[in-house]
Amino acid sequence: MSAIATGARLPVWSKIIVFLTISGILGSIATIVYGSLEIKRIAELAGNPKYVASLGKKIVDLPDPLPSGFEYQVGMDMSFLRLVSLINRDAMQQYTFYDFPGSTNQKAKKFTEDAYAYGMNTPSVVGKFTSLIKEGSWQLLGKEMPYMLGKVKTPEGQEKQGLVASCVNEKGHAFLFYAVQVDNQKFNMAPSMELIKSIKSF
């Protein structure tokens, strides 16, 4: 059974807390910024479709309705980051946008390379990139959006394929984009390109 299908069995707030624990974010929230009740409040909001859609528009302005086949999954807005995940059940892929407050002087290519070195970190898949399959660049609203596609190995030993990309606008606002093939098949880049091309602003 796929990760998309099995993931629906857990309450949304439980899935988010598991994700935060794995990614190492939970500890910093609990000890520095938020208490456990605040974590649960954020996580419960994360599964509200209207909330997730409105949050998504704050990160990247996606069309309403979304392109065919795409749907919002979860979203979180915290003091140090915002994230929104979408799924495409037909393509068996998950997509996650990370948005960080403030501006950066870092180039998109360096942002992408650093994220690739760090690894895949999404609500469905956490792991390390083990080998590079392809790298290149898209154009998003006149800005370069470098991407790196590779094989990802999870802590459980599963191997998946996914990519990471980033874009920085003229104001220094940057976002990271992860896409992962959750069914262990060869990564199909076409759905990611369709989603990115639909962005109206960021």
Q: What's the CATH code of the domain at 53?
A: 3.40.1000
Q: Which domain range does residue 141 map to?
A: 3-197
What is the reported pTM? 0.78
The answer to whether residue 185 sits within a structural domain is yes
In this prediction, residue 43 has a pLDDT band, given cuts at 50, 70 and 90, of low
The answer to whether residue 30 sits within a structural domain is yes
The answer to whether residue 32 sits within a structural domain is yes
In this prediction, residue 173 has a pLDDT band, given cuts at 50, 70 and 90, of confident
Question: Per residue in 109-140, is it b (16+ CB within 10 Å) or e — as a string?
Answer: bebbbebbeebbbbbbbbbebeeeeebeebeb
The answer to whether residue 106 sits within a structural domain is yes
Mean pLDDT to the nearest integer, 169-189: 89
* Residue 143, CA distances (Å) to 114, 139, 179 in order: 19, 6, 19
Measured distance between the N- and C-terminal CA atoms of the chain, rounded to whole angstroms: 35
- R_g of the chain, CA atoms, integer Å: 16
Which residue in 76, 164, 68, 174 sits closest to 123, CA to CA?
A: 76
Asked whether 152 and 123 are in contact (CB, 8 A), the reply is no
Specify the pLDDT at position 132.
Answer: 97
Which residue in 198, 202, 178 sits closest to 65, CA to CA?
A: 198
Question: Per residue in 25-59, is it b (16+ CB within 10 Å) or e — as a string?
Answer: bbeebeeeebeeeebeebbebbbeeebbbebbeeb
Residue 160, judged by CB atoms within 10 A of its CB (0-12, 13-18, 19+), counts as buried
The answer to whether residue 202 sits within a structural domain is no
The answer to whether residue 11 sits within a structural domain is yes
Count of domains observed in the chain: 1
Condensed to tens digits (0 to 9), the pLDDT of residues 48-81 reads: 778 888 888 888 889 989 999 999 988 888 777 7
The answer to whether residue 174 sits within a structural domain is yes
